[in-house]
């Protein structure tokens, strides 16, 4: 099966040019200047021709931070691997990296097996796994080596959530020390959870139970402090570190300082920290619950710092931390007590188009959009050049993006299995027009043309962004 994508502008992390793309079965076979004799000669042998005139042709998005079917706070994230991966496809994301969670007292390999079973045969697009280490001990440290050999090369530890996922500085250091030896990348949720717990308890004692207090009890200073501490632990362990979901200027400053010194510190932010704010958490009634995620949405002033971080590569990746809970029946668990609101937002489907609004607004360049949503996450998590690039030999994960289309985000039209959108009514310039996953067209406009189980597990190399 040969597919020719013609007349489009191919956008990569390096630039944009008029190129036709020839896809053979699951891979990119060749690129040639649009309208050239070579490109024209491909017409005859093609089984299918997609006309991308006046559109961008970009590598499919890589969302390195999703939580499908994740158990949290007595409920489970609403998207299954089936619904979530289909929503990803609609949004132009063709690879997701989800988190398998080690049970306390359980093994890392059992966690991976269990999440592999949830995903197997269900996914619309390709997927990989990180493993959340909630119990650092001799055997889980040894298992890190085994998993790296199986293409699971990143492990997440939490400085937040005491009693749930929390790891002490000693445990985080031990995991980093192991990672320094086996090439793994340690990802850190950096907030000072011990101090936050004290602030939360004091708020509840004063009867402060509304959703806004989720934000007010998790100050940005305690994110900045934890990011700095994670970076120092990694420096001493001589391991790279990846800071997930940077939400504040304080956290970003700690990352930036370490990168100036040349330390291998990588960091992501998420669309919610670029577009939403504490004002959303303060919406009247209980509506703020729709915006409860961790770290919390910050005062609007932080957004400019995060865009600046994206421009100058202190932030290398935009991932979603997609962890959707419906308002009805799930977010409502926290009525009268914000600590019972399940933490997480839906945004997987909107990531590519939201970050494109940053191109429209002049915050980042067109190439940088592709770099932070696709190319960089592929490199950071060891998927280059299979993913994140349109290069001969790479997987034909390709999005045709129409920059002239306009639309409106709404829960009534999205494909995520959740009953609200954080961006309800937001006008969007540009839209995902067609999506190929390993050469197969899975989205055609508003129509899903893919197949449950098309998506495969992708083993990953170690981080390709170290210096």
Stretch that binds Zn ion, among 265-273, 277-285, 318-326, 435-443 (CB under 5 A): 318-326
- For residue 296, CA distances in Å to 143, 195, 213 come to 33, 15, 10
In the complex, the smallest distance separating the C-beta of residue 388 from Zn ion, rounded to whole angstroms, is: 21
Report residue 436 as tokens.
Answer: 């190929």
Stretch that binds Zn ion, among 101-109, 132-140, 280-288, 320-328 (CB under 5 A): 320-328
Q: Give the three-state DSSP class for 402.
A: strand
Stretch that binds Zn ion, among 178-186, 303-311, 315-323, 403-411 (CB under 5 A): 315-323
Report residue 64 as tokens.
Answer: 């390195």
In the complex, the smallest distance separating the C-beta of residue 310 from Zn ion, rounded to whole angstroms, is: 19
In the complex, the smallest distance separating the C-beta of residue 293 from Zn ion, rounded to whole angstroms, is: 9
* Residue among 314 and 321 whose Cβ is closer to Zn ion: 321
Q: Using CB atoms within 10 Å of the CB of residue 339, give its burial: 0 to 12 exposed, 13 to 18 middle, 19+ buried.
A: middle
- Fill in the per-residue mask, 392 to 411: x = in contact with Zn ion (CB under 5 A), - = not in contact: --------------------
In the complex, the smallest distance separating the C-beta of residue 65 from Zn ion, rounded to whole angstroms, is: 6
DSSP 166: B
In the complex, the smallest distance separating the C-beta of residue 113 from Zn ion, rounded to whole angstroms, is: 21
* Residue among 23 and 270 whose Cβ is closer to Zn ion: 270
> Which residues does 368 contact at the CB level (< 8 Å), separation at least 6?
13, 310, 311, 359
- Fill in the per-residue mask, 427 to 466: x = in contact with Zn ion (CB under 5 A), - = not in contact: ----------------------------------------
Query: What is the size of the binding site for Zn ion (CB under 5 A)?
Result: 1
CA distance 89 to 349: 8
* Residue among 20 and 321 whose Cβ is closer to Zn ion: 321
The H or E element that residue 245 is part of is: none
Tally of CB atoms within 10 A around 243: 26
The reply to whether 321 sits near Zn ion by the rule CB under 5 A is: yes
* Residue among 264 and 347 whose Cβ is closer to Zn ion: 347
Q: What are φ and ψ of residue 251, in 5° steps?
A: -65, -45
* Residue among 63 and 321 whose Cβ is closer to Zn ion: 321
CA distance 245 to 323: 13
- For residue 46, CA distances in Å to 23, 24, 25, 398 come to 9, 9, 11, 17
CA distance 172 to 353: 35
- Within 13 Å and on the Cβ side, how many CA atoms surround 34? 17
* Residue among 11 and 293 whose Cβ is closer to Zn ion: 293
Tally of CB atoms within 10 A around 252: 27
The reply to whether 69 sits near Zn ion by the rule CB under 5 A is: no
In the complex, the smallest distance separating the C-beta of residue 270 from Zn ion, rounded to whole angstroms, is: 9
CA distance 102 to 131: 7
CA angle, corner 351, sides to 269 and 52, nearest 5?
A: 135
Stretch that binds Zn ion, among 309-317, 319-327, 378-386, 439-447 (CB under 5 A): 319-327
* Residue among 12 and 294 whose Cβ is closer to Zn ion: 294
In the complex, the smallest distance separating the C-beta of residue 161 from Zn ion, rounded to whole angstroms, is: 11
* Residue among 67 and 438 whose Cβ is closer to Zn ion: 67
How, if at all, do strands 185-189 and 2-6 pair? unpaired
* Residue among 81 and 401 whose Cβ is closer to Zn ion: 81
* Residue among 342 and 430 whose Cβ is closer to Zn ion: 342
Residue number of the CB closest to Zn ion reads 321
Stretch that binds Zn ion, among 111-119, 298-306, 313-321, 376-384 (CB under 5 A): 313-321
In the complex, the smallest distance separating the C-beta of residue 98 from Zn ion, rounded to whole angstroms, is: 10
Residue with tokens 């959703």: 211
User: Can you state the angle between helices 169-182 and 138-149, rounded to 10 degrees?
Assistant: 30
In the complex, the smallest distance separating the C-beta of residue 318 from Zn ion, rounded to whole angstroms, is: 14
Q: Residues in the site for Zn ion, rule: CB under 5 A? A: 321
């Amino acid at each position: 099966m040969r597919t020719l994508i013609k007349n489009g502008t191919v956008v990569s992390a390096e630039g944009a040019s008029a190129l036709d793309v020839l896809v053979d079965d699951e891979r990119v076979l060749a690129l040639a200047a649009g309208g050239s004799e070579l490109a024209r000669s491909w017409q005859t042998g093609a089984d299918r021709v997609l006309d991308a005139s006046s559109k961008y042709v970009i590598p499919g998005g890589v969302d390195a931070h999703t939580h499908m079917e994740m158990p949290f706070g007595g409920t489970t994230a609403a998207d299954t691997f089936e619904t979530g991966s289909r929503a990803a496809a609609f949004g132009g994301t063709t690879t997701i990296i989800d988190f398998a969670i080690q049970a306390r007292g359980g093994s890392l390999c059992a966690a991976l097996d269990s999440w592999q079973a949830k995903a197997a045969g269900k996914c619309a697009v390709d997927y990989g796994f990180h493993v959340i280490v909630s119990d650092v001990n001799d055997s889980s440290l040894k298992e890190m080596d085994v998993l790296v050999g199986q293409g699971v090369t990143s492990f997440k530890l939490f400085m937040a959530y005491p009693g749930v996922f929390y790891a002490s500085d000693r445990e985080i250091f031990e995991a980093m020390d192991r990672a320094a030896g086996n090439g793994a990348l340690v990802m850190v949720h950096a907030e000072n959870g011990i101090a936050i717990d004290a602030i939360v308890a004091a708020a509840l004692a004063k009867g402060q139970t509304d959703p806004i207090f989720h934000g007010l009890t998790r100050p940005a200073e305690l994110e900045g402090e934890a990011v700095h501490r994670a970076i120092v632990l990694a420096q001493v362990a001589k391991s790279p570190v990846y800071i997930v979901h940077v939400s504040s200027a304080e956290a970003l400053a700690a990352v930036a300082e370490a990168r100036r010194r040349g330390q291998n510190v990588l960091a992501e932010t998420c669309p919610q920290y670029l577009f939403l704010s504490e004002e959303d958490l303060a919406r009247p009634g209980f509506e703020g619950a729709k915006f409860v995620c961790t770290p919390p949405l910050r005062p609007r002033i932080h957004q400019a710092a995060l865009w600046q971080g994206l421009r100058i590569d202190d932030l290398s990746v935009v991932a979603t931390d997609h962890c959707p809970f419906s308002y009805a029946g799930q977010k409502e668990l926290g009525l009268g007590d914000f600590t019972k609101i399940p933490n997480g937002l839906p945004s997987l489907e909107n990531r590519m188009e939201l970050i494109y609004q940053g191109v429209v607004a002049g915050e980042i360049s067109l190439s940088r959009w592709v770099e932070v949503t696709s190319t960089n996450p592929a490199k950071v998590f060891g998927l280059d050049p299979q993913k994140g690039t349109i290069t001969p030999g790479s997987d034909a994960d390709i999005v045709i993006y129409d920059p002239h289309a306009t639309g409106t985000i709404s829960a009534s039209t999205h494909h995520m299995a959740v009953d609200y959108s954080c961006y309800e009514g937001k006008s969007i310039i540009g839209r995902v027009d067609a999506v190929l996953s390993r050469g197969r067209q899975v989205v055609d406009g508003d129509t899903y043309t893919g197949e449950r189980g098309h998506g495969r597990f992708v083993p990953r190399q170690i981080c390709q962004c170290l210096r």
